[in-house]
Amino acid sequence: MQERSNKAVRERYESNCALKVALAENDKLKRRINAIESLIGKERTATKVEIRPEQTIAFGLLTILSIVVFQVKF
Protein backbone atom coordinates (compact mmCIF):
# COMPACT_ATOMS: atom_id res chain seq x y z
CA MET A 1 0.00 0.00 0.00
CA GLN A 2 2.88 2.33 0.79
CA GLU A 3 4.41 1.49 -2.58
CA ARG A 4 1.21 2.54 -4.40
CA SER A 5 1.15 5.78 -2.45
CA ASN A 6 4.80 6.50 -3.28
CA LYS A 7 4.17 5.64 -6.92
CA ALA A 8 1.20 8.02 -7.05
CA VAL A 9 3.28 10.79 -5.50
CA ARG A 10 6.11 10.22 -8.02
CA GLU A 11 3.68 10.22 -10.94
CA ARG A 12 2.06 13.43 -9.73
CA TYR A 13 5.48 15.05 -9.34
CA GLU A 14 6.51 13.97 -12.84
CA SER A 15 3.23 15.24 -14.22
CA ASN A 16 3.76 18.61 -12.54
CA CYS A 17 7.29 18.81 -13.93
CA ALA A 18 6.02 18.00 -17.43
CA LEU A 19 3.32 20.66 -17.06
CA LYS A 20 5.90 23.27 -16.04
CA VAL A 21 8.04 22.39 -19.06
CA ALA A 22 5.03 22.64 -21.37
CA LEU A 23 4.06 26.03 -19.93
CA ALA A 24 7.61 27.31 -20.36
CA GLU A 25 7.60 26.18 -24.01
CA ASN A 26 4.22 27.84 -24.51
CA ASP A 27 5.55 31.13 -23.11
CA LYS A 28 8.58 30.93 -25.40
CA LEU A 29 6.36 30.39 -28.43
CA LYS A 30 4.07 33.27 -27.44
CA ARG A 31 7.06 35.60 -27.14
CA ARG A 32 8.35 34.50 -30.54
CA ILE A 33 4.94 35.01 -32.14
CA ASN A 34 4.65 38.49 -30.62
CA ALA A 35 8.13 39.39 -31.85
CA ILE A 36 7.36 38.17 -35.36
CA GLU A 37 4.02 39.98 -35.43
CA SER A 38 5.64 43.22 -34.33
CA LEU A 39 8.25 42.86 -37.09
CA ILE A 40 5.57 42.17 -39.67
CA GLY A 41 3.46 45.01 -38.38
CA LYS A 42 0.41 42.92 -37.70
CA GLU A 43 -0.19 44.60 -34.39
CA ARG A 44 -1.62 47.97 -35.25
CA THR A 45 -2.67 50.53 -32.76
CA ALA A 46 -6.32 51.29 -33.11
CA THR A 47 -7.07 54.89 -33.89
CA LYS A 48 -10.12 55.86 -31.95
CA VAL A 49 -12.28 58.55 -33.50
CA GLU A 50 -14.36 60.43 -31.01
CA ILE A 51 -17.31 62.38 -32.33
CA ARG A 52 -19.09 64.36 -29.68
CA PRO A 53 -22.81 65.17 -29.97
CA GLU A 54 -22.01 68.90 -30.08
CA GLN A 55 -19.93 68.38 -33.22
CA THR A 56 -22.69 66.37 -34.89
CA ILE A 57 -25.31 68.99 -34.10
CA ALA A 58 -23.03 71.82 -35.23
CA PHE A 59 -22.28 70.03 -38.51
CA GLY A 60 -25.98 69.44 -39.16
CA LEU A 61 -26.89 73.07 -38.45
CA LEU A 62 -24.02 74.27 -40.64
CA THR A 63 -25.21 72.06 -43.48
CA ILE A 64 -28.79 73.32 -43.21
CA LEU A 65 -27.60 76.93 -42.97
CA SER A 66 -25.38 76.56 -46.03
CA ILE A 67 -28.29 75.10 -48.03
CA VAL A 68 -30.52 77.99 -47.01
CA VAL A 69 -27.90 80.67 -47.66
CA PHE A 70 -26.67 79.36 -50.98
CA GLN A 71 -30.13 78.06 -52.02
CA VAL A 72 -28.80 74.76 -53.24
CA LYS A 73 -31.48 72.81 -55.05
CA PHE A 74 -31.40 69.05 -55.02
- pLDDT the model gives residue 43: 52
Alpha-carbon torsion, ordered 24, 25, 30, 32, to 10 deg: 120
Whole-prediction pTM value?
A: 0.42
Distance CA(24)–CA(45), nearest Å, equals 28
From the first residue on, what is the mean pLDDT of each consecutive set of 10 residues in the chain (74 residues)? 83 87 90 85 69 85 86 64
- pLDDT the model gives residue 14: 86
